[in-house]
């Protein structure tokens, strides 16, 4: 049973890393669930560690939603521009991460142009959306990567002992 839980945790870690880039997959929460599976299997973490990673995971999930909107707003995006960025990103995610980024930029520009902004204003707002999104992707990758390291390290310790 331990081996099954550990392998499941490792699979969740891979999915969690992938989820940092794919907007429909919750990256860090999957990595946190992997840590919980490891805890259930072999109890490698102290309670304090799990509490800290619970808080970090919740903060990252909240920040993932707020930062792109906040940076877009700070760069002058309108509500239509923000909606366009979201729609474009969702439509683009079916065409690899590059499509997701392109969709975000194009959607943001179209939304702001529909709100009667100039192309320069719309482009600036799109840059804000892009910056916020890339920042949160990087943040999620760091958090998910660190949790993956902890799971893999503890799994390795378990199997080598």
Q: Which two tokens stand for residue 24?
A: 């429909």
Residue 132 · residue 69 · CB < 8 Å: yes
Residue 73: the pLDDT is 86
The average confidence (pLDDT) of the chain is: 92
Closest by alpha carbon to 105, among 20, 25, 124, 18?
Answer: 124
Confidence at residue 86, expressed as pLDDT on a 0 to 100 scale: 87
**What does the pLDDT look like over 139-161, one tens digit per residue?**
999 999 999 999 999 999 988 98
Given a cut of 90, whether residue 14 has pLDDT beyond it is yes
Mean pLDDT of 43-52: 95
pTM: 0.86
**Distance of alpha carbon 126 from alpha carbon 105, whole angstroms:** 5
Coil, strand, or helix at residue 24? Answer: coil
Q: Which of 36, 40, 33, 39 is nearest to 16 (CA)?
A: 33
Q: List the chain domain ranges.
A: 2-160
């Amino acid at each position: 049973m331990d081996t099954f839980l550990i392998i499941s945790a490792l699979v969740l870690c891979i999915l969690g890393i992938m989820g940092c880039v794919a907007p429909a997959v919750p990256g860090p929460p999957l990595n946190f669930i992997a840590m919980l599976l490891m805890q259930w299997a072999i109890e490698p973490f102290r309670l304090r560690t799990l509490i800290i990673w619970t808080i970090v995971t919740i903060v990252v999930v909240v920040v993932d939603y707020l930062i792109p909107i906040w940076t877009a707003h700070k760069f002058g995006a309108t509500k239509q521009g923000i909606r366009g960025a979201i729609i474009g990103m969702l439509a683009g995610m079916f065409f690899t991460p590059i499509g997701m980024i392109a969709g975000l930029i194009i959607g943001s520009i179209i939304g702001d142009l529909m709100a009667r902004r100039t192309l320069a204003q719309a482009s600036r707002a799109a840059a804000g959306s892009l910056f916020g999104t890339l920042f949160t992707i990087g943040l999620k990758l760091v958090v998910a990567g660190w949790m993956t390291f902890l799971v893999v390290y503890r799994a390795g310790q378990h199997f080598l002992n």
